[in-house]
Copies of this chain bind each other. A is one copy, B any other.
Amino acid sequence: MSGASGAADGTGAPSERAPSAADVLRRCRELVRPALVGAVGRLHPWTGEMAAYALGWADTAGTPDPGGSEGKGVRQALAVLGAEAVGADAADAVPGAVAVELVHTFSLLHDDIMDADALRRRRPALWKAYGTGPAVLAGDALLARAVTGLAEARGDRTAAAVRRLCAALNDLVAGQAEDLRFEQRPWCGPGAVGPEQYRSMAEGKTGALLGCALALGAVLGGAPEPTATALDRAGRHLGLAFQAVDDVLGIRGDPATTGKPVRADLRRGKKTHPVLAALAGGGRAARELGTLLACSRRTDDATAERIAALVEEAGGLAATREEARRHLDAARAALRTTPLTPAAVRELDALFTGLADRVR
């Protein structure tokens, strides 16, 4: 907690070393870890074992897994920084940090089933490792534990925090529903997915929980509602930037870094931002792309490679990088609409930059 106290002193002295995203994530992970371990320890032993696998703490034999399959912990970090940003102690945010991290893990487990994604962080997805039924159950257990932990937290802000978590949860599930429905829609013409519909889906699927994480930290730290709402808005923009970055990585990312198969999104006909932007751009490449997408039901390696090249040529990747930048700027702007502790804002900035750097 020394880092937290040091960072929350509000002096914002320029002589301080600028924190890196990795520093911020590490500090927050260490801070939240005991409570997260405690929450998982309260699960049924079998679902606890699956949760430990899903969180990258252990392999399927329950042996500690130093293979680096743990998530970055962006959401728990946002909760901690949300509290520190409003001048509260990082410890106030911990029940919220645990809740958002568990909800995130729940959503990965269930999304991997829905999307038939067999790989997650370079390992078999939980449903591949333990079976679909057990993975459904593990997700349910994590979700129940997430809400319970927050509902049982001490303090008079708990009820407001639970309402925020629930609202984000509904947005997240609705976003996932949209994403799945998009797969049934045509690439072009009437019924195609428009930019606003894409944005609404991505905000639900990714933005809602990031916004909630920041807001929960603020709410649990005793901030007034408008401050929490400003932080929620910042987190939602961050989520949209994050999703745009993820979409670019889904087309051009190195599987060794992403931990997912190359061009998995293209193979499944996912309506991602780069492809939609490429199609919307017009021109020869966009037309060829439209024809190729309309004709190919099952996408082989060569076709996926050609689609990726056309998306790039038609400006889809550039437009999506621009979309990410735009939302990062909006996230930073949202932070400036409310008075916050400068040291925490610096750490948030570092985090935001680190996430954008993934596609440089």
Contacts and interface: CB of A to CB of B under 8 A. Distances in A.
Interface of A: 42-44, 46-47, 110, 113-116, 132-134, 136-137, 139-141, 143-145, 147-148, 151-152, 158-159, 162-163, 166-167, 169-170, 172-174, 176-178, 180-181
B140 A143 contact: yes
A141 B177 contact: yes
A141 B173 contact: yes
B47 A173 contact: yes
A201 to B, nearest CB: 10
22 contacts: A42-B170, A43-B174, A44-B173, A44-B177, A46-B180, A46-B181, A110-B140, A113-B133, A113-B136, A116-B133, A136-B139, A137-B176, A137-B177, A139-B140, A140-B176, A141-B174, A144-B169, A147-B166, A148-B167, A151-B166, A152-B166, A158-B159
Contacts of A173: 44, 47, 137, 140-141, 144
B136 A151 contact: no
A176 B141 CA distance: 10
B177 A148 contact: no
A159 B169 contact: no
Nearest to A133: B114
B170 A144 contact: yes
A139 B110 CA distance: 11
B136 A110 contact: yes
Contacts of A42: 170
A163 B110 CA distance: 24
B166 A133 contact: no
A145 B46 CA distance: 27
Contacts of A181: 46
A29 to B, nearest CB: 25
B143 A114 contact: no
A166 B137 contact: no
A148 B162 CA distance: 8
A145 B172 CA distance: 12
B148 A170 contact: yes
A144 B166 contact: yes
Contacts of A139: 136, 140
A162 B145 CA distance: 13
A132 B110 CA distance: 11
Contacts of A167: 148
B133 A115 contact: yes
Given A44-B173, A177-B44, A163 B141 contact: no
Given A169-B148, A177-B44, A181-B46, A143 B141 contact: no
A181 B47 CA distance: 11
Given A44-B177, A173-B47, A137 B110 contact: yes
A58 to B, nearest CB: 17
